Structure 1
Amino acid sequence: MPSPSNVSQRRRHPARPKASAREARPENLREYAAAWSDYELLDAGGGRKLERWGEVVTIRPEINADADALWPLAQWRELAHWEFVETSSTQGRWQKLRADAPESWSIAYRQLHFNLKLTQFKHLGLFPEQQANWRFIAERVVPGARILNLFAYTGAASLVARAAGADVTHVDSVRQMLDWANANQTLSGLADIKWVLEDALKFAGRELKRGKRYDGIIMDPPAWGLGANGEKWKLEHQLPRLAETARGLLQPGGFLILNTYSPKVGLQELAAAGLHFGQGQSETRQLWARSQTGNDLYYGNLLRAVV
């Protein structure tokens, strides 16, 4: 079964989640990503979000920003360097709002550093809402732990685990993403992450047959996409297999982090996938961030499990 062969398939402009994915948004199921010195969600609303990345401020579309923004759009544009303007449901272009706006730059998170750049899919190379998972990884990983990061993108979770002393295997099917992640490793003063250019689920299946085991598995699979040969990938169809494979690869005491951004995968579906780990061995959460202006922004659902 393929993982998407093109970055355009990764978490691109998702449809509005159906009721099972958004659910009632109970406060006790929310986990909030925190801002840090080089990143801040400034405001959100009207289908957009205003973010600060170091010294650079961007405006990007956000389907879940369905409340009213606290600041007027004119104020946003006075602050921003770039605004992403959609030209279709999957692509768009960046509009420069300041003459000195850079097209690439870097920011820091603790001791780590990430290269950012404009892409035609509105992304910049980092998903800051994942800070909630970076905290979890930093708390759980010990030196020498074996960590497998699947659908690993530009490597933020891999770097957090490596900085904690883990032996990290980073798997992605897009060469550009591996190169980007490797550049982030170098920029962060780290080394020795194992890079694997391959279909994530196929690699995990072979690792299972080889009898390999890991102390932690991180998955950030796309909602849907196409493989190298045009095969269709839909997360809702692959979720049970992903969970079962992860369970087989984990050592006793090992953990799984599985993010979902699919409108067809809600907390109930994640809870069912968590049953592969046994009763009471998994938890489902909603991933959120709060803007400087106090607006809450929903980012998707999350499964964490232990063996």
Structure 2
Amino acid sequence: MSDKHEALLYQRFRSALSSTGWHWFAFHFQTWPPHPFAQSLLQACARLDRRMPGLGKQFLLDVARIGGKEKHHPDYDQLMQKLSEILILLRIVELGWPEGTSFTHEPEGTPGGKRPELLVVSPGQNFLFEVKAPSLLNHQLLRSQNGTQLPSRGIPLELAKTTAGEDGLTLPRDNPVKDFLIDADAKFASFKSKADYTSTLIILWDDFIYEPITALAHAQSGLLTANSFAKDANGNPLTFPNVDAVVLIRHLLYFQRFAGGALTPERAHAFDFGDEASLRTSSSRRGPGRSLPLSLTGFVRFPWTIRSCSALPSIALRTSFGGARRPAF
């Protein structure tokens, strides 16, 4: 590591860490040059600073301040959320945007209102992005301990418990997906009520990517179907009119593996987003006549089909947000 800015970020992280106490990543920053995982984090933040001055430094300090309790699982999950934000924002701002494009982190739609992660104002089209990562550490432990996992709410719970018996049952991880949709819809609302924006919720998950796909698309309970398990006070399926697209990205396990010192042939480092040959999964709902500048290699398209492609320089999907929706499968 020879970049002076990365060295400065390293010093700032170490200084902030001294007042935090116990930290999941303290080991990675003990020496100079630091652990490869720490190097990739510093490099990502330095690259982000070049595009949005000061933002990479702020993210790094945020990471350094998440700690204080030894092996505290909520801190670990919060770190995964912060790393996810760094990964996605870096990916977005480094895309080939036209001249005159501007980026705003956590823009304010109304005074004191909820703020999405990123606003991109580009000639001819404006974009809003929200980035989410679920608390998965305890869920991952349950997966490894229990003999049976219930992928969706389509199977009666009592029947699933009887089938699992003494081997233990891992329940669906669908409530976070519901909460992400509700929160993103609220954050986007104040912007879309004033002007035309393309709004995208990006959710990062681990290799069990079928979990959020099932939460969104399962015929008997999917959040984007007429049989959604999420209902309003009148028993009608919740809708998310301000969310134009949902993108699912399988990446959390790369953070975990590289932080643990493991290597993987699929990625060079923790913040390697992959290329056109890498597996990427996304599920999207779109309004007509718009495109997303996200380079992905696989996606679930709504309504009603699953597709995968070798290369997608953009996504342009048509779907309806109004009226009744039929099951996705």
Richer in strand (by share) = 1
Richer in helix (by share) = 2
Computing the radius of gyration over CA atoms, which structure comes out larger, 1 or 2?
2
Q: TM-score, normalised by structure 2?
A: 0.31
Tell me which of the two structures has the higher relative contact order, counting C-alpha pairs closer than 8 angstroms and 6 or more residues apart: 1
Q: TM-score, normalised by structure 1?
A: 0.33
